[in-house]
Amino acid sequence: MLKLTHTRAVFLMVVVTLLWSIAGLVTRHLEQARSFEVTFWRSFFTLLSLLVMLPAIQGRGVFGTIRRGGAALWLSGLCWATMFTAFMVALTLMPVANVLVTMAVGPLLTALFARIFIGHRIALRTWVAIGLAGLGIGWMYGSQMAGLPLSGTLVALCVPVAAAANWTVVQHSQRHGHAVDLVPAVLVGAVVSVIVTLPLALPLQATAHDLFLLALLGVFQLAIPCVLAVRCGRVLKAPEMALLGLLEVIFGILLAWLGAGERPASAVLAGGALVIGALVLNEMLGWKEQK
């Protein structure tokens, strides 16, 4: 594969976030598939894609890596499965903008989890950012509590919580000399998501049109960008990944607005600006300190 320079990795991460961001737009054009069926089909097509892609990229030894991966790899896979499942279910329950802004607190939750579970020190700037992000989320949901289901909010929060748990598991494992290969962990997550959501998805009602769109999501919105993001993570620093990842929020809201007429509420824009601003400021200051 082409060797990634820093510039290529940045460009590739922009493409990755653009691919991630199409989920909200595409789900708004489904005909019959709803809730867990949406998740099942997307995860199913992701699984098929990864079964072809991973041996081509890493060789057939990738399946041996999964067998020898130990508890950390399987825990990481469970976290991926939670993210896959919760994200799509949340999109069927709430506006795209609300889901994406809620997900944006992931890096700050990661810092908090790292402090609680593996003893990482949290800088004052990060504590301030966590407080501002919490204020932004409160602002976003406070004015809409009567119109948004509590279940949707809780499901959306599962995504950044699972992402934070995933990073903590990986870091803890690496500290003890057991590096986790995140690419096979994505495959494990897809398998778990398919198994868990199939019974909840019955009876299957997706039309051929729905299956085409969900196959598109499985291949181009999840399988390919997840593998590419893991590769980019080997070149880019964590603050760069976090900042570039925010493009998914911007792209996703714009695509849902322009392509599905889902205009975000003013409270979502204001609260989202506070969340993203807090994260950008924290990551930029952290980047400056590292330099």
Q: What is the pLDDT of residues 213-240, one digit of tens each?
A: 999 999 999 999 988 887 887 787 766 7
* pLDDT tens per residue, range 60-81: 777 777 777 677 888 889 999 9
Mean pLDDT confidence for 268-284: 79
Res 247 pLDDT > 80: yes
The Cα 96–Cα 213 span in angstroms is 17
In this structure, are residues 200 and 36 in contact, taking their beta carbons and an 8 Å threshold?
A: yes
In this structure, are residues 28 and 256 in contact, taking their beta carbons and an 8 Å threshold?
A: yes
Residue 156 vs residue 172, higher pLDDT: 156
The Cα 104–Cα 100 span in angstroms is 6
Q: What is the pTM of this model?
A: 0.82
Q: Is 1 exposed, middle or buried (0-12, 13-18, 19+ CB in 10 A)?
A: exposed
In this structure, are residues 232 and 4 in contact, taking their beta carbons and an 8 Å threshold?
A: yes
Buried b (16+ CB within 10 A) or exposed e, 90-120: bbbbbbbbbbbbbbbbbbbbbbbbbeeeeee
Tokens of 91: 């999109």
pLDDT band at 284 (very low <50, low <70, confident <90, very high): confident
pLDDT at 221: 93
Res 16 pLDDT > 80: yes
